[in-house]
Amino acid sequence: MTGLAVDVDSRLRAEVDRTREEVVETRRAVHRRPELSGAEEQTAALAAQRCADLGFAVRTEVGGHGVVADLEGGRPGPTVMLRADMDALPVEESADGRPVRSEVDGAMHACGHDGHVAMTLGAGTVLTAMRDSWAGRLRLCFQPAEETASGAVPMIAAGAAEGVDHVFGIHLWAPIAVGRVAVKPGVLFGSADTFRLTVSGRGGHGGMPHTAVDPVVAAAQVVLALQSIVSRETSPFAPAVVTIGRVSGGTTFNVIADQVELLGTTRALERSERERLLRRVEEVASGVAAAAGATAVYEHAAGCPPVISDAAMAEVVRRAAVATVGEEHVDQAEPITVGDDVACFLDLAPGCYFLVGAGHPERGPVSPHHSAGFDIDEACLPIGVETLVRAALDRLR
């Protein structure tokens, strides 16, 4: 039987209870003032101020609007990072009478990151109160620009992950009912990469194509050829996606353009598959373009690897979740083909990213993440706080 001593356990519950209202208020404050990816100034300032008030050593503007806050325990030990993303989405929140609404036109916390900030600050508050019962260093990491998969890499380049031994983080998940927690070792979310292909030919007269090299025809062949990477080269048992989402080039019907630009994305559930897909996009595009007498230049625009939880750390979280909501409310998560650049932190230190149920199906159909009707049941917040605290305490000993 592993677990916390009875006195630590009851203190933990009391402290989580004590933070309950503040966590809800924080979530509402962040929800009212959503900030888009890369513009998280007020949210970062709120997180930094709270951490400073709690006695953390705070670094701001870490790789953009990132905040890194450290608190030392009573004795030396490992460093545990709790990571929360802070950004909102360019979505106009639905006017359905919900009590807490975005006060910014065209922006909304439609993915639950407001709750992530609030829960992580709540966990920081609880662990500050219990500082005498743990060893090591607690690091809270508030990350900007998750939705554009461009926040973690600059934070890491600025030193956010230095010395970190373990990483834990939550994604609130509305398709899962509030009261449940889902965790799994291995892949939780897929990779998500974006790329640009610039197909160059030689412009000319639309009536005399033999005097030009037509990049529109070459680009069309590239788009079709890329589809065979998944259909002909990828195991039917390995989920993979190659999508070209935008084709742009040319001006009018009788002018052969010089260039066509293709923008696309790839998704995979394994690191090796991710790398292979991107490599093959480049190879196929340049080979097919060359066959048409054109060139294709590949550029990787942004991306993140699959979100992979370490088996031992997933077990730490599973135990923490069982202690919080009971064995019968803890599920094995299923992999989901969305991305999250928490993956970059998890690649550097063993950790676990897990799902805390935030939906309330009895109140009607749950609106998907990223939609105008998205909402969370705030009862999920103390569950997230307690699970995070228990997971952190498991390591901070």
Interface ranges with Zn ion (CB under 5 A) = 111
One DSSP character per residue, 243-308 reads EEEEEEE--STTEE-SEEEEEEEEEESSHHHHHHHHHHHHHHHHHHHHHTT-EEEEEEEEEE--EE
Q: Which of 40, 85, 87, 270 is catalytic?
A: 87
What's the rounded Cα separation, in Å, for the pair 272 and 30?
38
Question: HEC states along 82-135?
Answer: EEEECCEECCCCCCCCCCCCCCCCCCECCCCHHHHHHHHHHHHHHHHHCHHHCE
**Is the CB of 84 or the CB of 197 nearer to Zn ion?**
84
What's the rounded Cα separation, in Å, for the pair 242 and 274?
10
Paired residues of 77 in beta bridges: none
Contact 383, 324 (CB under 8 A): yes
Query: At its nearest, how many Å lie between Zn ion and the CB of residue 190?
Result: 13
For residue 271, CA distances in Å to 231, 238, 308, 349 come to 19, 12, 9, 16
Instruction: Please indicate whether residue 87 is annotated as part of the active site.
Output: yes
What's the rounded Cα separation, in Å, for the pair 15 and 123?
10
Q: Which of 146, 193, 273, 378 is catalytic?
A: 146
What's the rounded Cα separation, in Å, for the pair 32 and 41?
14
Contact 108, 362 (CB under 8 A): no
Query: At its nearest, how many Å lie between Zn ion and the CB of residue 113?
Result: 6
Query: At its nearest, how many Å lie between Zn ion and the CB of residue 289?
Result: 34
Picking from 315, 330, 323, the residue whose alpha carbon sits closest to that of residue 6 is: 323
**Is the CB of 11 or the CB of 33 nearer to Zn ion?**
33
**Is the CB of 111 or the CB of 330 nearer to Zn ion?**
111
Instruction: Please indicate whether residue 310 is annotated as part of the active site.
Output: no
**Is the CB of 85 or the CB of 347 nearer to Zn ion?**
85
Query: At its nearest, how many Å lie between Zn ion and the CB of residue 269?
Result: 18
**Is the CB of 111 or the CB of 161 nearer to Zn ion?**
111
Catalytic residues, by residue number, are 87, 146
